[in-house]
């Protein structure tokens, strides 16, 4: 919405949309990894609930290592798409790094 209100062109809208999709999927993949590897202390909830519910998560389908690589790839894709916005994208790029590095 910010890009549209700021007068962004079609390229800017496409870039922010793609970055948002990549960031969102990376967040979900990391969340699923944390459900496999996390502890009660770190997560504030019991880990392993996805496996108990037999959810088709990224780690369940591809393994934790491949999931971690995919999350990192998606974050790098998001940051690459955000490069169009120059220094103005620094806060969301920092958020993207946090998403992939978070422990809870």
Q: 12-42 as b/e, with b when 16 or more CB fall inside 10 Å?
A: eeebbeebeebbebbbebbbbbbbbebeeee
Q: In the predicted model, is pLDDT for residue 48 greater than 90?
A: no
Q: Which pLDDT belongs to residue 30?
A: 97
CB atoms within 10 A of CB 66: 13
Q: Which pLDDT belongs to residue 54?
A: 86
Is 58:36 a contact under the CB 8 Å cutoff?
Answer: no
Report CA-CA distances (Å) from 46 to 30, 38, 43, 49: 16, 8, 7, 7
Supply 26's token pair: 């990376």
The arithmetic mean of pLDDT across residues 3-21, rounded, is 92
């Amino acid at each position: 919405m910010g890009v549209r209100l700021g007068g962004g062109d079609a390229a800017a809208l496409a870039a922010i949309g793609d970055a948002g999709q990549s960031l969102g999927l990376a967040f979900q993949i990391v969340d699923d990894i944390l459900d496999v590897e996390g502890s009660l202390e770190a997560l504030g909830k019991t880990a392993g609930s996805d496996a108990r519910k037999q959810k088709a998560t990224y780690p369940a389908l591809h393994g934790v290592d491949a999931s971690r690589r995919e999350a990192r790839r998606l974050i790098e894709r998001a940051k690459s798409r955000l490069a169009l916005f120059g220094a103005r994208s620094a806060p969301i790029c920092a958020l993207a790094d946090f998403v992939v590095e978070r422990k809870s």
